[in-house]
Structure 1
Amino acid sequence: MIQAIGRIRIITSVLLLLAVSVSLIWNIFHFRRHQLDPAQATDNLQVLFWPLIISHILAAMAGLIIIAIFARKLSKERRNLEKKHEQLQSEIEERKKTETELHAAKENLESRVQKRTSELQQINTILSESLEAQQQTEESLSQTTRHLRQRNRELSDFTHAISHDLKEPLILIQAFCDRLHKKCHDNLDEKGINYLERIETSTQRMQGLIDGLLLYSRIDRISQAFEPLHLNKVIRDVLDDLAVKIEENQAEILVDKLGDIEADPLQMRQLFQNIIGNSLKYRNLEKQPTIRIHLQPFSNEAQNLTHIRLSIQDNGIGFDSKYAEKIFDIFQRLHSREEINGSGIGLSICKKILDRHHGTITASSQPGQGTNVTLTLPRSQTQDTTESLPVK
């Protein structure tokens, strides 16, 4: 704006000088042309000032017009400057507002960071304490596990020793009973023969219990390394061993394709022999025994890649579901010996075999509706955690 005013002053001065110069040149030229005498010249001097006055007036008017034009332009520029000033002021205020909000947000963020940091420190302290407690618990659990293993070894040794020591007198009793039966049978009356038969029956039952205990104690004591097994072949071998019982009971055995796992071959054979043998033993006398062995896939596809689940179903007499866990306890029987002969050790052996193979065994049933035994086994064994003990 100052520069524009300066330009107006320069233009006005130039116009005035130009008007004066033109007027003087015109008057001098006119004076020389007519060569007026001094008297006339004196008279005409007055005439000389009128053009000067007129030229100044014209120059002033021109200057005023120019000033008006530039003033209008300056007014427009001023309005534009005021508008820009207002915009700039608004932007400055908006920026100040934004800076205030940013400052508040920064303070809020710093407060939240400090609060979160404090919370994380507390969580880290709690986690550290929990980790320390967990380590102590794991150490205590490890010690307890070692203690239990030691106790199990001692119990296994004791069971094996007692069973072995009891077996010798039983063999001797059985031998004397056989000798009495052969040599003194004719000299015994009916009561004596009854006593002798009861001794033989009790001896055989005791022999079965001792054999079961020995078998139970040997699961951990005598074990083979895990190796790849084809389950269908294992079951075929078991069915060959049970062929006489299967034929006597006219049982139907249905076996689907089961696949392969890593396991102890002898213990897998013993496992299926006990389960299938139980299905034949606890058959429904009014039906043809039917046993079906098939895969039962997991709902989780990933689990199907690492584990296998087998279902062994029969149409036997079944049992009350409240005994579903109790039947795996050693010496647990749901029927009297007069009803069904047995030692009550078979399913306990099965559970112990599954424990060694890092698997599970469960049973579900209802009276008169058969039994479904479910086995879950890993397809591969990472390690055998059971320590084999020497046979005594």
Structure 2
Amino acid sequence: MKFTRIFRFSNILKLTLAIAIIAIGYLTTMFYFQMRELETSVKAIANSNNIQFELEQISTQINKNESALRSFIITKDSLFLKDRFLDKREFDLRMSKLQELSLKSPESRLEIDSLAIKLNQRFAIFNAILTAASINNYDVNTLKNNLLRSNILSDNLQSYLNAVISRQQHLVNTQHKLHSKRISESSYTAVGLAITCLLIFGLAYSKMKNDIIKVKKANDDLKFLNETFNNAEKIASFGHWKVNLDTKVYTLSDNFYRLLGREPQSFEASLETITELIHPDDREAAIRAHMESLIDLKPTSITCRYVLDNGEIKYLKSVGSFRRNTKGQLVKIGVNSDITQQFLDTKKLSENNQKLVEINAELESFNSIVSHDMQEPLRKIQMFISRLEANEMENMTEQGKDYFNKIRFSANRMQNLMVDLVNYARAVKGDRTFVKTDLNVLMKVVVEELSLSIDEKNATVKVDDLPTIEGIPFQIQQLFVNLISNSIKYSRINVDPEILVRNEKIAENTFFDNKLIDPKSYYKIVVSDNGIGFRQEYAENIFMLFRRLETDKNYSGTGLGLAICKKIAENHNGFILAYGKQQIGAEFHVYLPKESTV
């Protein structure tokens, strides 16, 4: 849920930033064009002011020329013309400047052109009057007519100048209003741009702060992870290393140095400084394997001995593989683990295994002796007992007959004991080939094998529908032979044995050795009887070797039958439990895997 909120906040932040950036782009573009318009309007205002100024200057100069000309006509004093009268060249210069200014104001160009024509006409009259007035005997009427025309033209020219100046003033006023409007618009745009920039700054600050917090947390986590990893290296007795194939730089972890009996970073890591610590007998092979891996880039797994400064020899296993770092450089990364104790344990285990092989050979020899050599003289003893019983029994005293019965009982018990020992040895070291085994078919063989005992005790054996399992057939057969024969053997006096073999559903929350038994993985086969039973506190003891709970001479047994059953169940990765009540009966619950797990 927290991750979803962070993800949504991140998306909203990104969307807001994108919108803000678009808004800044739009406002910046708008502000740019507004500034261009303001610049244009300023230039237009300045141009109009310049035109107006030049027009006013021309108007003033024309008035001065007129005044100077009239003063000259009245006084005939040329001083009036010397300082006050401007010739046409100066007016032409001003007109040229006006025409240049009018290029930036198309609406004023025609007016300036018209003004130039009127000025030319005006100067033509000026020149005519000046020429006429300069002659001593000038024609008064002609001079009057020219002065009259001059007045008319002056009035017209002044009116025209006033009109042009008025229009320029109006144009300046219009430009001022437009300029003020543009300044106002650009101010709003600047404020919007500033607010948007502040928004982006705020968002960027928030994102940066969030990122800094994340980076700090990541750094703290990384620091904690490094500390944990370093502690793990110490605890697990391993160290890591790496070599950069591009820079040829070797790097060792602190615990790698400790594995070599050195202080962390006590020497410069290099191929030479590391390999000189390898046992001389292992050094060449280790260097060759490492160098070949740098060529073919194949992972390596090398075990070799290292000689420490104190003479101690450590067995280190080095495993390495290749990766590329964030810069794209190829790096070989490896882990060296201390397997000295493991190596010594393996060596000791190998020695123990050799001893076990020898012991097994002795046991095999013993088993052979029990199953063949010892049974041969026992069979002869039993044969002579049979002959004595047939031929000499009548000649014996009562005490002799008692001794004879004890000898026969002991011989039979010894034979049963040797048979059970052989069966137990077969269960411990027998064939482990698992095959599909139909328990229904197998139980028919078991009942047939025990038919004499069943008939002798008038026993009833009922077998429900049983499953098919993966097992070792002869061992499973031996298991049920022992369980059923056990029920027949320990039946109550004057009570016919009733034995039931059934497949029962495993109850929920069934545990064995603190492990939950999964009903989907196990079958539960129950063998129950109505015999003498046993006290429940002895349920574990009855599976021990040579442990018999019944010492009554009416019940014979070697104490190996149920131990064999337990061993067979364990061979199948199963187990067996016993439940009993005295003089009521016993139940044996056999749990066998549905599929072989051995």
Q: TM-score, normalised by structure 1?
A: 0.75
2:549 alignment counterpart: 334
Aligned mate of 1:7, from 44, 50, 56 = 44
Q: Is the 8 A contact 2:48 2:168 kept in 1?
A: no
| Structure 1: runs of 5+ lacking an equivalent | 384-392
Count how many residue pairs are aligned between Structure 1 and Structure 2. 379
Point out which structure has higher relative CO (alpha carbons under 8 A, 6+ apart): 1
Alignment of 1:1-392 (within 5 A): 1-10=38-47, 13=51, 14=105, 37-41=145-149, 44=152, 47-48=155-156, 51-52=159-160, 54-55=162-163, 58-91=166-199, 93-94=201-202, 97=205, 98-99=207-208, 101-102=210-211, 105-106=214-215, 108-120=217-229, 122-123=231-232, 126-127=235-236, 132=339, 144=352, 147-148=355-356, 150-158=358-366, 160-161=368-369, 166-219=374-427, 226-285=434-493, 289-296=497-504, 308-378=523-593
Distance, in Å, in 2 between the alignment partners of 1:262 and 1:59 is 116
Q: Is the 8 A contact 2:490 2:532 kept in 1?
A: yes
Residue 187 to residue 161, structure 1, CA distance change in 2 (3 Å):
same
Distance, in Å, in 1 between the alignment partners of 2:348 and 2:156 is 131
Distance, in Å, in 2 between the alignment partners of 1:16 and 1:142 is 115
Question: Which deviates the most, 370-379 or 11-20?
Answer: 11-20
Distance, in Å, in 1 between the alignment partners of 2:354 and 2:596 is 21
Distance, in Å, in 1 between the alignment partners of 2:117 and 2:426 is 146
1:390 alignment counterpart: none
Q: Is the 8 A contact 1:227 1:262 kept in 2?
A: yes
Q: Note the C-alpha offset of 1:276.
A: 0.7
3-state SS, counterpart of residue 568 of structure 2: helix
Which structure: larger Rg? 2
Listed one character per residue, the Cα deviations across residues 323-379 of structure 1 (whole Å, up to 9, x for unaligned) are: 222212221100113242222121122233344445433323343453232333455
What percentage of residue pairs aligned between the two structures are identical?
27
Q: Is the 8 A contact 2:536 2:581 kept in 1?
A: yes
Residue 10 to residue 173, structure 1, CA distance change in 2 (3 Å):
same
Distance, in Å, in 2 between the alignment partners of 1:150 and 1:172 is 32
Q: Note the C-alpha offset of 1:274.
A: 0.9
3-state SS, counterpart of residue 245 of structure 1: helix
| Structure 2: runs of 5+ lacking an equivalent | 1-37, 52-104, 126-141, 239-336, 510-516
Distance, in Å, in 2 between the alignment partners of 1:40 and 1:221 is 153
Listed one character per residue, the Cα deviations across residues 47-101 of structure 1 (whole Å, up to 9, x for unaligned) are: 4465256425522541343133212322223213322441354156336524465
Q: Is the 8 A contact 2:48 2:172 kept in 1?
A: no
Q: Note the C-alpha offset of 1:280.
A: 1.9
Distance, in Å, in 2 between the alignment partners of 1:279 and 1:131 is 56
Distance, in Å, in 2 between the alignment partners of 1:77 and 1:367 is 109
Distance, in Å, in 2 between the alignment partners of 1:369 and 1:202 is 30
Letter in 1 for 2:184: K
Distance, in Å, in 2 between the alignment partners of 1:131 and 1:246 is 63
2:71 alignment counterpart: none
Distance, in Å, in 2 between the alignment partners of 1:151 and 1:224 is 20
Q: Note the C-alpha offset of 1:228.
A: 3.8
Listed one character per residue, the Cα deviations across residues 294-349 of structure 1 (whole Å, up to 9, x for unaligned) are: 3345679x977765442222333322233222212221100113242222121122
Residue 226 to residue 90, structure 1, CA distance change in 2 (3 Å):
closer
Residue 56 to residue 112, structure 1, CA distance change in 2 (3 Å):
same
Q: Note the C-alpha offset of 1:140.
A: 5.1
Q: Note the C-alpha offset of 1:149.
A: 5.4
Distance, in Å, in 2 between the alignment partners of 1:24 and 1:215 is 142
Listed one character per residue, the Cα deviations across residues 235-280 of structure 1 (whole Å, up to 9, x for unaligned) are: 1111122234334544443323323334444333222111111122
3-state SS, counterpart of residue 261 of structure 1: strand
